Structure 1
Amino acid sequence: MTTLEKAQLWLTDTFDTETKEKVQQLIDSNSPDLEDSFYRELEFGTGGMRGIMGVGTNRLNKYTLGQATQGLANYLHQSFPNQEIKVAIAYDVRNNSKEFGKLVADVLTANGIKVLLFKNHRPTPELSFTVRDKKCNAGIVLTASHNPPEYNGYKVYWNDGAQVVPPDDENIIKEVYATKFDAIKFDGNDDLIEWIGEEQDDVYIDACMENSLYQNVGRDNLNIVFTSIHGTTYTTIPKALKKAGFTKVDLVTEQMIPSGNFPTVESPNPEEPAALEMAMDLAKITNGDIVIGTDPDGDRLGIAVRNLDGNIELLNGNQTNTILTYYILDQWKKQGRITGKEFIGSTIVTSDVFFDVAEKFGVDCKVGLTGFKWIGKMIRDFEGQEKFICGGEESFGFMTGDFVRDKDSCGSILLACEIAAWCKANGKTMYQYMIDIYKEVGMYYEGLINVVKKGREGAEEIQEMMKNFRENLPKEIAGSPVAEVKDFKEQTCLVVASNEKKVMDDIPKSNVLIYYTEDGTKVCVRPSGTEPKIKFYVSVKDSINSEADFIVKLPILEKKIEAVKESLNLN
């Protein structure tokens, strides 16, 4: 079927007048958007979907959301027969999120499912918490995380509060794709909606404090600068900091206003220093010790602290998570809570420093595919056998304890501020504490290279790049011979010296390659699941004995990252 024929199907009586008019405009104007809007179905992946808002099968709209929700409703009835089914729904600040939230609620209630719907914007981790706290069968959050303003998305959580994993995710996908647009039930029943308000914030914040705080040292002497970057955490973080006793908190007032247009930044992504520029400028005025920003749905956090020169510097996700993880394990050890049956969670694209940290404290480090859904699965798989302590991944996500089964900025921010306050009380900065950790476990340094390839042609280019990297393995990277190649699509590990391939079937298949070189460099190649990008995660390492060593070796490792880029022709 041609793209035009697919578009013409949206001119039938199944679709409302406004939708038909917009589709007809695309056809009449011969707009290039017609091709991108209809050339494929918007992928409902293993955690949900994310896409540009608009009409068409490859866009997020009333009908693609309705199809996803009708398919989910069908599967919920199959999974929980003869039971009252409850689903919690939250939404972020993005354009149309509130309307989409009510639309999704209507489809569920039209299918006889009770809905717990937040009255206003709330962070994704609060939704995860609420699923467990209110004993729901599932949860949905309308968000596109840190994507540009034209995007929105839809994530599905199961009754354990984590994003859906096999076999539930695959079964939901089958139901979604089996659902025709004319089978969607849109006529909701408001009698089945229970509205959730600010009272749930307090329950969630109390749980964050209980699971994230260890010692009350110097909390009233830490200068904090916080920005929600126009996102949902304006509802929770200032309240949580105050409740935990952090009294010196300056807010970037312009960015505390919720807006799906994110007017003060090009990208609402705390991974990018530019997103925290206003907060860093405020820290110069207020003599801030720590700067914190969150993404629109409040699961990711960016932390900037004063470096050895006294300037505010944004830590990368691995650095932040190293500090948080080491501190937690150190506290657990001091409290006598480590028995050898505990573990931390990480992902295949995250720094291997976490293996070293786990080994130091006598706990296991379990690794899964990219995304916190896999850390959530670890918790469920080992519940009652091993105790989960904390987990994180390089993309600025961390979670403390298992009360939230997704990355959680609130608990992580409380923990980070405790560490910063403790460091200040002991005459050092978080940055110096990080160096102290590197002296113990080895100094790691990471870089992320994003290659953007948009549209249909871009998707094909990314597939071709992955094929080339798979079929033409580099013999060396940045001057160091490649020693090992892990192919998660083929589930094999190639030991280059012996040309021996080992089977790796402990992690599900995924289109990811990892190269390890003889000097310990790690390069992970992976197409993004949410954006038109192919990503290269680079990690290099060395050993240090002092702060002076760190100063000498940091520029060396930075140059090594650049050499890796040149080796793979990524400049």
Structure 2
Amino acid sequence: MNTIDQPTQTRIQQWLSAEYDLDTVSLVQQLIDNNEETELIDSFYKDLEFGTGGLRGIMGVGSNRMNKYTIGKATQGLANYLKKQFPNQPIKVAVSYDSRNNSQKFGNLVADVFAANGMHVYLFQELRPTPMLSYAVRHFGCQGGVMLTASHNPKEYNGYKAYWSDGGQLVAPHDKNVITEVNAIQSVTEIRFERVEENITLVGEEFDQLYIDANKKLSIHPEAVQAQHDLKIVYSSIHGTGITVVPKMLEAWGFHNIHLVEEQAQPNGNFPTVVYPNPEEEEAMTKAIQKGKDIDADVVMATDPDADRVGLAVKNHRGEIQLLNGNQIGSLLIYYVLSSKKDKGLLNENDFIVKTIVTSNLMTDISTAFHVKHYETLTGFKFIGEVMTLVEEKENYLVGGEESYGFLVGDLVRDKDAVNACAFIAEMAAYFKNQGKSVFDVLLDIYGSYGFYQEKLISLTKKGKAGADEIKQMMANLRATPPQFLGGIPVKEIRDYDLGIAHELASNSKTKIALPKSDVLQFITVDGDVISARPSGTEPKIKFYCSVKEQLPSPDAYEQVALQLEQKVKNIMADIVKD
């Protein structure tokens, strides 16, 4: 304990007090007795921060871990804030959870605290996807909600997503105000853990049908689905919640040739068949792709544990199953929705789409071509949801997405929705197949019309306190000595979203960025390449995004241009990513 600083030691001693249950005290003492200083430091060097989206961390004992007390404190703080915001009225909240280890236990714990505070809780009886929690908040007229999930993080993590009355995750000013309430709790004795049974209503399987029926009404081309009802679809839930609803949603839309990846169909918080339960990772899609090859599938899809992200693979122009990235999936969905609505005369002047600042400008190019307004937000779907809520009385949201495989068609929820996206991806594939085209053919058509965009994401993992410090230093270094050239191409503009300033280098002119502050740096080259750097808000990572563009003269030139762009991306990333 000699190398542990005094504030950390104080937190450790507090967790050995009689305020905490005997099991917790015993586990803390065990770490001390075994002289596990690194684990003690990482577990206690700070309080697990209730960030702008809630909590996310490694499960275990300690102030910087996901456990009964950190979750209880977050819930008590949120309950206190809800009481202040909705005085003298009954308060309702919805609570759901995913397949992670302890998620069900944590979900019941959250329900207990809300119920003990006199609130009526709609608690999902069994695990369900995150978008269904958002839908439940809106359906039951709740003032708030909580989803227990760490999304696509490794198995040792869990998390706590807090929602507001619009069904979206907390945004300003509520996010910071809830943090203030959480931080105001000085002792775990202030947390009300005693369950009040009459304040809890269990939400059962019957709710699935309400959600499915509402989504089915959004279908644009049901006639194409009917014509292609035997479209070969492979689906994997990667041991998560998607298995509870995605197959039922696809069947309800009219698809009857769905092949599940059986070895990944059972919910399991250990995610035994993958390294990371993240459809962004090629490895996590391996079994689904193999099944797709075995049956010659038209569409291969996989969702993450809480089913708000979806990965997609389709047959390319050579007939091989090829993974698409989040930018490609989102661009295809936007093109499908806008072109279909235009063909049916359903586009209106007040329609709009939304994307985030690190997501491909191809989405913007498509919307501009269809004369549909677009919004751009900070990274995180909660900001897309915020735009939807802010303009819902005057404008009509159609579709939006982010490069991290999060998409939403229609405005039933205020979060990314992989269940909804799976249905629309399948419908899109059916519609284009009806026209004699594959999804990949359409992607090449899009590149031919709007430009061939190539994107790459590099994530560097930096764990623990030392890793967090290293990430801060990397961002500080980029600000102190920003690159003047990337891949040999001059940088023409630097956007610092933390300062809220865009700096045009040639004229030395500076303009304000009309978005809230965020720790993101963007470098735009004279070629129009966009390179972004940002620490992840949900994982111990720093992320570097690169987007480059070239004209695609013909579909036959795809490989040649792809290789050219890959080399350009490689050269650029070599200049900015320093591990």
TM-score bucket (shorter structure): over 0.9
The match for 1:558 is: 566
Would the alpha carbon gap of residues 396 and 460 (structure 1) be closer, same or farther in structure 2, given more than 3 Å must change?
A: same
Which of 211, 214, 217 matches 1:210? 217
> CA shift at 1:219, angstroms?
2.8
- Cα contact 2:221–2:431 (8 A) shared by 1: no
CA–CA distance in structure 2, aligned partners of residues 278 and 424 of structure 1? 25
The answer to whether structure 1 residue 396 and structure 2 residue 405 are counterparts is yes
Which runs of structure 2 are paired with 1:92-103 in the superposition (5 Å)?
A: 92-103=98-109
Equivalent residue runs for 1:466-505 within 5 Å: 466-504=475-513
Gaps of 5+ in 2: 1-5
Alpha-carbon spacing, 1:113–1:144, altered in 2? closer, same or farther (3 Å): same
Shift of 1:299: 0.3
Equivalent residue for 2:17, pick from 12, 16, 22: 12
Alpha-carbon distance in structure 2 between the residues aligned to 1:178 and 1:565: 43
Does the Cα contact within 8 Å between 2:93 and 2:137 map onto a contact in 1?
yes
Write the letter of the residue equivalent to 1:427: G
Residue of structure 2 in register with 1:24 after alignment? 29
Instruction: Kindly provide the amino acid, as one letter, of the partner of residue 101 in structure 1.
Output: G
Once residues 79 and 142 of structure 2 are traced to their aligned partners in structure 1, the CA distance between those partners, rounded to angstroms, is: 14
Q: Is the 8 Å Cα contact of residues 100 and 142 (structure 1) preserved in structure 2?
A: yes
Q: Provide the rounded CA distance (Å) in 2 between the counterparts of 1:137 and 1:216.
A: 39
User: Is the CA contact 2:301–2:313 (under 8 Å) kept in the aligned structure 1?
Assistant: yes
- What pairs up with 1:543-554 in 2 under 5 angstroms? 543-554=551-562
Q: Counterpart in 1 of 2:431? A: 422
Equivalent-residue separation in structure 1 for 2:577 and 2:164 (angstroms): 42
Deviates more, 1:394-403 or 1:180-189: 180-189
Which AA in structure 2 matches 1:401?
Answer: G
Q: Secondary structure at the match of 1:69?
A: helix
Q: Give me the whole-angstrom Cα distance separating, in 1, the residues matched to 2:417 and 2:463.
A: 30
Q: Kindly report which structure 2 residues correspond to 1:164-313, keeping only aligned pairs within 5 A, or say none.
A: 164-180=170-186, 181-217=188-224, 218-313=227-322
Distance 1:59 1:234 in 2: 29
The 1-side partners of 2:24 and 2:220 are apart by 50
* 2:3 aligned residue: none
Normalization by structure 2: what TM-score? 0.97
Structure 1 unaligned blocks of 5 or more:
none
* Local SS of the residue matching 1:221: coil
What is the match of residue 342 of structure 1?
351
Contact 1:75 1:171 in 2 (8 A): yes
Q: Which amino acid is the alignment partner of residue 147 of structure 1?
A: N
**Would you say the 8 A contact 2:228–2:430 is kept in 1?**
yes
Native 8 Å contact 2:120 2:200 kept in 1: yes
Could you tell me which amino acid in structure 2 is paired with residue 381 of structure 1?
L
1:358 maps to 367
Distance 1:125 1:10 in 2: 36
Offset at residue 310 of structure 1 (A) = 1.3
Between the aligned partners of 2:250 and 2:490, the Cα distance in structure 1 is 48
The answer on whether the counterparts of 1:338 and 1:362 sit within 8 Å (CA) in structure 2 is no
Secondary structure of 1:388 counterpart: strand
Structure 1 residue 5 displacement after superposition = 2.1
User: 1:313: how far off?
Assistant: 1.1
Per-residue CA deviation, residues 360-391 of structure 1 (Å, 9 max, x unaligned), is 01111101111111011101111222111111
- Mapped contact 1:343–1:365 kept (Cα < 8 A): yes
SS at match of 1:229: coil
The DSSP-based 3-state class of the residue aligned with 2:457 is strand
CA distance in 2, matches of 1:48, 1:35: 22
Distance 1:523 1:212, change over 3 A: farther
CA-CA distance at 1:147 after TM superposition: 0.4
Task: Deviation per CA, 1:53-112: give whole Å up to 9, x if none.
Answer: 001000000000000000000011101111111100000000000000111111111100
- Secondary structure of 1:8's aligned partner: helix
What does residue 138 of structure 2 align with? 132
Corresponding residue for 2:541? Answer: 533
Q: How far, CA to CA, are the matches of 1:329 and 1:342 in structure 2?
A: 10
CA contact (8 A) 2:137 2:144 kept: yes
What is the CA-CA distance between 1:161 and the residue it aligns to?
0.5
Residue aligned with 2:312, SS: strand
Q: Aligned match of 2:530 in 518, 522, 543?
A: 522
Identity %: 49
- In the alignment, is the contact (CA less than 8 A) between 1:212 and 1:411 conserved in 2? no
| 8 Å CA contact 1:232, 1:258 repeated in 2 | yes
Q: In structure 1, how many angstroms separate the alpha carbons of the residues matched to 2:503 and 2:123?
A: 49
* Cα deviations by residue, 1:13-37 (Å, 9 ceiling, x for unpaired): 1100000000111112110211100
Q: Which amino acid aligns with 1:404?
A: V
* Aligned counterparts, 1:379-394, within 5 A: 379-394=388-403
Correspondence for 1:56: 62
Contact 1:212 1:400 in 2 (8 A): no
Contact 1:219 1:247 (8 Å CA) reproduced: no
Note the C-alpha offset of 1:458. 0.9
Letter in 1 for 2:27: K
Displacement of 1:550:
2.2
Q: Give how far 1:159 is off.
A: 0.6
Q: Is the 8 A contact 2:12 2:62 kept in 1?
A: yes
Tell me, yes or no, if structure 1 residue 509 matches structure 2 residue 517. Answer: yes
Name the SS of the counterpart of 1:93 in structure 2: coil
Q: TM-score, normalised by structure 1?
A: 0.98
Shift of residue 221, structure 1, vs aligned partner: 3.0
Q: CA deviation at 1:503?
A: 1.4
**1:145 counterpart residue number:** 151
SS at match of 1:216: helix
- Measure, in 2, the Cα distance between the counterparts of 1:71 and 1:214: 46
* SS of the residue 1:2 aligns to: helix
- Equivalent-residue separation in structure 1 for 2:381 and 2:412 (angstroms): 14
* Contact preservation (8 Å) 1:4, 1:27: no
Number of residues of Structure 1 aligned to a counterpart in Structure 2: 570
SS class of match (1:11): coil
Q: Determine helix, strand or coil for the equivalent of 2:106.
A: helix
Residue in 1 aligned with 2:160? Answer: 154
- For 1:546 and 1:119, the matched residues in 2 are separated by 53
Residue 405 (structure 1) aligned with residue 414 (structure 2): yes
Report how far residue 441 of structure 1 moved: 1.3
The question of whether the paired residues in 2 share the 8 Å contact of 1:325 and 1:390 is answered with yes
Letter in 2 for 1:55: V
Amino acid in the other structure paired with 2:42: D
Amino acid at match of 1:186: F
Q: Which residue of 2 aligns with 1:70?
A: 76
2:228–2:434: 8 Å Cα contact kept in structure 1? Answer: no
Q: Is the 8 A contact 1:216 1:418 kept in 2?
A: no
Q: State the 1:288 CA deviation.
A: 0.7
TM-aligned CA distance change 1:90 to 1:213, over 3 Å: farther
Query: 1:212: Cα distance to partner?
Result: 4.1
| Matched letter for residue 521 of structure 2 | L
